[in-house]
Amino acid sequence: MGFHVEINSILRSDEYSDLTVGETRPFRKQGSRVFFDDIPIWLTQSDWTALAEIQVIAQSRTPSEVKGEFQVLHLYSGKEQQRVTEMFRRMYADGGHEFIYVLMSPETLRESTRSGTFAPESLATQKFIHASPANQLTRIANKYYRDNDTVHVTVVRKSKVTAPIKWEPATGGLYPHIYGKLNMAASEQTITFFKNDEDAFQIEI
């Protein structure tokens, strides 16, 4: 059985900085689901960066929110923070979606389909392939493919990708980066999009 973290054992907030072990801080979150009050829980930023292990020492709830106080038990830093952050992003950053998306020009799609792998220049220069969540496809297409009249969106099933996938911060949020060649067998389908009358892409999947 794999390890799984229940979502009500994590407090996500960008309101906390300069934490110290032993101090207490107030918290407030939307929703009525209370935290565990007898075991440590995790404090992360909204981008899933791990900040600390904390323990709730008081809490109350209404139908719309939970508020209370927590005590800081342990602060994350360095490689430990990196490992825990990667775990949270792997488990939760994709929102439970099965797919990630890769934009390709017609020429790149033809070559990748022929060879069976996608290995763009970024793999050599940055060590990973840029992929995207669905809600960022329009922005990326209009930024990097504005000179193209057509762009292809390759729908990639994460579970079939043979290279590691890491969710990492970039403009607009967290993005899936593929650390190795993309095996095209992981592609479920390719959807073609054309520019609209305003000479822009509008991608909705």
pLDDT in tens, 131-154: 999 999 999 999 999 999 999 999
Average pLDDT over residues 11-16: 95
Q: Please indicate whether residue 13 or residue 92 has the higher confidence score (pLDDT).
A: 13
Nearest C-alpha neighbor of 176 from the set 77, 83, 98: 98
Residue 97: what pLDDT?
Answer: 87
Evaluate whether 142 touches 205 at the Cβ level (below 8 Å): no
Kindly report the length of the chain: 205
Among the candidates 47, 63, 92, a domain finishes at: 92
Residue 172 has pLDDT above 80, yes or no: no
* CA-to-CA dists, residue 161 to 61, 158, 201, angstroms: 42, 5, 27
pTM: 0.70
Task: For residue 23, give its domain range.
Answer: 7-92
Residue 3: what pLDDT?
Answer: 47
Q: Is 186 inside a domain boundary?
A: yes
Q: Number of folded domains in the chain?
A: 2
Q: Please indicate whether residue 5 or residue 132 has the higher confidence score (pLDDT).
A: 132
Residue 8: what pLDDT?
Answer: 67
Position 162 confidence tier, pLDDT thresholds 50, 70, 90: very high
117 in the same domain as 87: no
Residue 38 has pLDDT above 80, yes or no: no
174 in the same domain as 117: yes
